[in-house]
Structures are given as structure tokens and as C-alpha cells.
Structure 1
Amino acid sequence: MGAAVLSGHSLRFGYEAARSVPVFASLDVEVRRGEVLAVLGPNGGGKTTLLRVLSGSLTPQAGTVRLAGDDVRWNRRGVDRLRRSVQLVFQDPDDQLFSASVHQDVSFGPLNQGLDPGTVRERVAWALEALEIAALTEQPTHLLSYGQRKRVALAGALAMRPSVLVLDEPTAGLDPAGVESLLRTLEGLRAAGTTLLVSTHDVDLAHRWADRALLLDREVLGVGPVREVLADPSLLAAARLRPAWGPAVGRALREAGLRAAEAPDPSTPEEVAGITGG
């Protein structure tokens, strides 16, 4: 992992109806180049609000957002630069899709950037291929399954070629096979150099997939390597999260003499089966 590609410093934000009680009042966060940073916490703790501030869809009332070390200016040019580099994909794809066909929806962002038609075609084809939905290019968006709509929304963000992809509950509403398929796709994007900032309630997903975890409940409760943060019972209790099963299984395996003391905790059932011979 490299230096911070996106960061927030002393961020404050409150919604109009409750500005006297902000969602967060002095929040610091750093997203490092090439990592997966998982943001976890209870409902109402500020996860989605933080993602929207860092991606430019909400303007902080105080504090600074920095992109590649430069302060974001909250004028039209500054916000446009931020949004080109940091793409937010909402939890519900129907909040993001609005065009008649898949191709039209995915091409909207690049066209809006004023790119030439050849570049737009290239970006759309690449994004659809990366999300494994090239066969859907002419399909009406309203006829797609929920999982397919999730992938189209993600393809629309990818077509903008962002340096940071921001995902709000990316696996919500997907069945187990859909989750595994999406994770393989996202791992491919990360391997190709995309930085991922992800909010999730799923501690097992974060433990398995993320590099670092940030626990948030209107303030940062803890941040650090995911397997350290999610193995801390006091931090999890403060964030109103249940323990991840990986650390619990790891402790049981070590107590049974099936896992070396220094070995990392397992993150998938397949790992456990390999250890136990099951």
C-alpha cells in the first residue's frame, strides 16, 4: 500500500434538520493507494455520509478533503475533479440507473466528460467486460435482475476510470453466489490498481477481504489492519458489531493444536476445511 490517495481532515457534516447535532464533528480518515479500506459501524453511525462527503456528493461544513495530497476546492471545478477521480456506487442500483439500456447508462459518464466517441466505446466495452456483463449491452435496464443492475451501476462508475472506487454495501441483496462473483470481479479491479473504499455491516466479509478496517459511530472508534481491529472485542462492542467468525475459529484451532500460534486466522470455510482435513 502506498501514500494516501484520498483523505479527510477534521470533517464535520450535519443534515439540515439536525445541524446542531452533526453526524460527525471532527473526523479524520485516510485511504491509501491500492488498498481495500472497509468502513464498519451501526446504522446511523455515519458510514454512508462519510462516503458521500469523500466522493463529493455532499459538501463538508468544516474540514478538508484531499485528493492525492491536494486540498479539494468546493467550487465547480474542484468538485468535478474530485468526482472524476472518486466514483461512488450506491447500495441500491435503482438510485443510480436511469437510462433505457445498459449501454446508454454505462456510457453516460464518459459522454458527459466530453470524450470522443471512440474513447467512450472503448471505456464502455472495457467496463462491461470487467463486470462480466458484455452480453447485456443492449438490454433494457428495467428488465435486469437485481444482481445484474448492481453490476451495471458498477460498470458505469468504472467507465469513468476512477482512481478510487467507493462502494456503499456492495454485497447487500446478493445471494452467496452473487457475492462470490462480485468479489472476484472487485479483486481483479484491485489487482489492476483500483483503490477501494467500502462500507459494510458484514464483519466476515471485511475480515476476509479488506486490508484495513475503520470502525465508525459518529467518530472513529478504531482503525488499523483488519485482522487486528476485528479481533478486538472492546472495539467491536463499541461499534455494536458482532465478532467475525475467523478470529473465533482461529482461536479454537490453536487451542486444539491444529494451528500454529503465529498463523493468521482463517477467512473462509475452505481454509478451515484444509486445516482440519474436512
Structure 2
Amino acid sequence: MTAVLAADRLSYSYPGAPPVFSELSLEVTQGTSLAVLGPNGGGKTTLLRLLCGGLRPMAGTVLLRGRPLSYGRVALAEFRTQVQFVHQDPDDQLFAATVRQDVSFGPLNLGLPPEAAAARVTSALEDMEILPLADQPTHLLSFGQRKRVAIAGALALRPVVLILDEPTAGLDPAGTEALLTTLERLRAGGTTIIVSTHDVDFAHRWADDAAIIARGTLHAGPADTLLTDSALLRGASLRPAWGPAVGRVLRALGGLPAAAPDPRSPEEVLALEPEPRP
């Protein structure tokens, strides 16, 4: 399958600090969802900022559809319309007085006619299920609503790749469920989505692929494989995913067929409960 975004032997270090990683490579397949996991300070956010052009590597190349990223002003601006980054804290991204004004900034900055920009804004707000909030002041919204506005601002640019830094951080369980549903709908519509997260259960439930980065080393592969590797997770200061552990217990008790996939949510486990006898 085609790699829409790739890192080829990237190296990066912050001033006065040892390298975060050296010669790190990763390929992201078109139309898939990728979860990037690892310990605090392990390099997750640094990798994401390199992939979106927010940082320039000391060595190596970022490629979009096989074409190396150029860091000239015009080329970088064009790249960022196709690869959008959403901050962990939405207040680092929102600045306009109302939701509609904030989400309009990107399309209008592209030079789109007002009618075309307005259509993109409406579409992005509908995708994030916040159209009724269009004329609300952003500072009066809840944290979860502000997160959705920040993502809508990125979607309004119609990116090829959407990169989210810790999208579930600060959300309650209901907010996390709602965001998961939205991200799955976007992925099903063809958007390639990359998220960094500490939440192994979220990653196991949602992602097609996973990349675990720790001590400068990256392991990438199918999420179902990586997130059941206890030794790998332990080395990255991550706990095992809930679903595979429950799956092993259920198979041992005869409650799940040997070839059945691991459950991804409590609802899937409850659905296995036998009907009460009359």
C-alpha cells in the first residue's frame, strides 16, 4: 500500500540536550489510523512536529507522497495545507472571537472566495458535530468543545493527513467516546489520521497501526500485534492493553472462540454474556 507520509532516517536534538532519536524511519499508509505511543519525553510530540513541518530535522527527510519536504516559506505553507497538526491544548490554537471566525481563518487565508470558505467551514463544523456552536464565543465553550473547534479548523483546510497530539487528554469518558466515533468517521471518509497518546486501550480500540517510541528506538506495525507485546510495552513504560488481557481470560474460560479477535470495548464484552435462561 502507498505511504502517504514518511520519515526517512530522521535525527533531532534540542539545543544543549542529547539526541531525542537518530535515523528514525516510519511510513504511514494512505487512509489508515496510526497511534504513536511512548513514555513522557520519549519523542512522540517531537516526531509529530517533524512530520507536520513544525520542526526541521538535523538529518533525514520527511516525504509526502514520495516527495521530500522543502522548508522554503512557500513550499512549507503548501505542505501544511495537506498535513495539519492539532495541539494537545486547544487554547494554544484558538484565537478568534467566535467558532465560525476561528474555523474560517485557514480557508480565507488560502484566498478562497467567501462562499467557498463558508462551505468548508460548515462542512468541518458538521464533521465535528458542532454546527450549532458556530456563532458561540470560543472562550465560553467547554474544554471538549474547544478541542472539537480546533480539529474543525484543521479539517477546513481539507488535509490529506490529520495529526493530533494527545486528543483524549482532558476529556471525560463521554467526551473520549464521542471523539473516537468522530475520528473513525473521518478515517472511513479517507482521511489519514495520526495521534500521539498514552492511552493504550484507546490505541488498541481505534488504531490500524501503532508506533512505539522509547529510548530513541521506534517499533512500528499492526496495532493488534504491537499492543499485545508485554515486553515492548513495559520497556516503553506503558501498561498492557485491556482488550487482549480480557480476551485471554475469556478464551481460557471458554467464553470466546479461540480464533475470535480480542474485545475492544466493554460493550463487546457485555454482548458475549449469555441470555438468561427462562
- What TM-score do you get using the length of structure 1 for normalisation? 0.96
Residue number in structure 1 paired with 2:216: 219
Residue number in structure 2 paired with 1:183: 180
Residue number in structure 2 paired with 1:141: 138
Aligned residues: 275
Residue number in structure 2 paired with 1:6: 5
Residue number in structure 1 paired with 2:162: 165
Secondary structure of 2:272 counterpart: helix
What is the Cα deviation at residue 220 of structure 1? 3.4
Contact 1:41 1:217 in 2 (8 A): yes
Counterpart CA distance in 2 for 1:220 and 1:154 is: 29
Letter in 2 for 1:274: A
1:117 and 2:114 aligned: yes
Letter in 1 for 2:259: E
What is the Cα deviation at residue 218 of structure 1? 4.2
Counterpart CA distance in 1 for 2:245 and 2:171 is: 25
- The runs of 5 or more residues in structure 2 that have no matched partner are none
Residue number in structure 2 paired with 1:208: 205
Letter in 2 for 1:128: L
Secondary structure of 1:43 counterpart: coil
1:56-75 correspondence to structure 2 within 5 Å? 56-75=53-72
Deviations 1:100-150 (A, max 9, x none): 111111011111111111110000010011111111111111111101100
Letter in 1 for 2:30: R
Secondary structure of 1:276 counterpart: coil
- What TM-score do you get using the length of structure 2 for normalisation? 0.96
Contact 1:214 1:220 in 2 (8 A): no
Letter in 1 for 2:198: H
Residue number in structure 1 paired with 2:254: 257
Contact 1:109 1:160 in 2 (8 A): yes
Deviations 1:145-181 (A, max 9, x none): 1011000000000000000000011111111111111
Counterpart CA distance in 1 for 2:218 and 2:248 is: 24
Contact 2:86 2:150 in 1 (8 A): yes
Residue number in structure 2 paired with 1:16: 15
Secondary structure of 2:257 counterpart: coil
Deviations 1:202-259 (A, max 9, x none): 0000000100110001433421111111111111111110001111111101111121
Letter in 2 for 1:124: V
Letter in 1 for 2:12: F
Counterpart CA distance in 2 for 1:226 and 1:186 is: 16
1:108 and 2:135 aligned: no
Residue number in structure 1 paired with 2:189: 192
Out of 259, 269, 274, the residue aligned to residue 271 of structure 2 is 274
Out of 23, 44, 47, the residue aligned to residue 44 of structure 2 is 47
Contact 1:221 1:235 in 2 (8 A): no
Deviations 1:49-78 (A, max 9, x none): 110110011111110000011111121122
Residue number in structure 2 paired with 1:153: 150
Secondary structure of 1:17 counterpart: coil
Contact 1:38 1:197 in 2 (8 A): yes
Counterpart CA distance in 2 for 1:238 and 1:167 is: 24
Counterpart CA distance in 1 for 2:80 and 2:215 is: 24
What is the Cα deviation at residue 86 of structure 1? 0.4
What is the Cα deviation at residue 37 of structure 1? 0.5
Residue number in structure 1 paired with 2:79: 82
Secondary structure of 1:215 counterpart: strand
Counterpart CA distance in 1 for 2:263 and 2:182 is: 22
